[in-house]
Amino acid sequence: GDSVDKENMITCTAPVNIAVIKYWGKRNEDLILPINSSLSVTLHQDQLKTTTTVATSRSFQEDRIWLNGKEEDISHPRLQSCLREIRRLARKRRNNAGPGFDATALSHKVHICSINNFPTAAGLASSAAGFACLVYTLARVFGVEGELSGIARQGSGSACRSMYGGFVQWIMGQQEDGKDSLAQQVEPESHWPELRILVLVASAERKPVGSTSGMQTSVQTSSLLKHRAESVVPGRMVEMTEAVRRKDFAAFAELTMKDSNQFHATCLDTYPPIFYLNNVSHRIISMVHRYNRHYGETRVAYTFDAGPNAVIFTLQQHIPEFVQMVQYFFPPEINGGQFIKGLSVDQAP
Ligand code: 2P0
């Protein structure tokens, strides 16, 4: 029989992260090395998360994977990179460890089962949580510890940032082998408890242009992207880290909105152009600026990834009023009342 020993089965969850300084563009496609550093906020695992179970057994004939219940091709190069790198670390660990170390899993094949509790590919960073969770769970199964963001990065760039909670930067690194292209926590999840996050679901549809191919075309065709990576993002990384450290909401919010807007400008500067925002997104942007202008201070920020859904940052004290305004401009009939989703900052796997 194919019975799996309970000890050889581990389940973990990993959260989505939302970039406030965006990653867009690679200098190395195979190793997934970016053209600029990025910074994100890791969300609370209760709402947007991936759950992954990895089982190993002597009776398994081959490595296999199921995503949201459907079997997928295990030979996908990025999956293979993650499996290979985790097994490499496990062998290293076995060779250095004393006789007490249990390395039976190393001789076995794995079965991987992964489920998202949110719509895949709607611009809500499903690959980030997915690969972070895969790498973390495999590491547990094979008894590997320590720095794992470099392996998660090889599954999906943004996944390296989901290996840590709170505020996280992905340092682009300088080396050609990518060994210094890693995620690092800037501040822990407990640092800014008043910070609140809402998702405004403008559409749950699959995005027309995937991130991987979209950023490839941008690197090839957009001179704005080159300017952004070389001359804009380095300064913004410093300013954003400072704004987070000081809990300066206005500075954090303005940088977040400007960086989202520049990312979407590089998408428009790509040839042929890429449109991720829709009319609802544009109305959300106008609404936020009108709201901030009304109070004469920046109380709310938006950011958009490779899709039309808005992620809103604000402080706890402004939530009731802001939500009331959103409901006025976007009556609950839209999306059957599912327009607003409340989220919060939390720790990773
Ligand atoms: C980010 N995005 O920083 C940016 C903002 C989308 C817009 O990271 O090819 O799925 O797997 O490295 O990580 C989406 O890109 O792309 C992304 P790959 P990924 O969150």
List the chain domain ranges: 6-188, 195-343
Q: How confident is the model at residue 98 (pLDDT cuts 50, 70, 90)?
A: confident
pLDDT surpasses 70 at 125: no
Pick the CATH number of 6-188 from 3.30.230.10, 1.10.10.10, 3.50.30.10, 3.30.540.10: 3.30.230.10
Least confident of 40-49, 137-146, 228-237, 295-304: 40-49
Q: Which residue did the predictor score with more confidence, 326 or 63?
A: 63
Percent of the chain with pLDDT over 90: 77
Ligand 1 atom nearest the C-alpha of 170 is 3
The two three-digit tokens of residue 281, written as one number: 């997104």
Q: Is residue 91 pLDDT above 50, yes or no?
A: yes
Distance (angstroms) between ligand 1 centre and the Cα of 158 equals 5
Ligand 1 centroid – CA 24 distance (Å): 6
Ligand 1 pocket, mutate which of 158, 162, 218 (most atoms under 8 A from CB): 158
The residue type at 323: V
pLDDT at 31 over 60: yes
Phi first, then psi: give them for residue 30, nearest 5 degrees.
-75, -45
Query: Which amino acids bring their CB within 6 angstroms of ligand 1?
Result: 19, 22-24, 32, 38, 125, 127-128, 156-158, 211-212, 305-306
* Cα(208)–Cα(86) distance, integer angstroms: 33
Give the model's pLDDT for residue 334. 52
In this prediction, residue 97 carries a pLDDT of 82
Query: By percentage, how much of the chain surpasses pLDDT 70?
Result: 90
Q: Is domain 195-343 given the CATH code 3.40.50.300 in the classification?
A: no
The pTM assigned to this predicted structure is: 0.93
Distance of CA 39 to the CA centre of its chain: 10
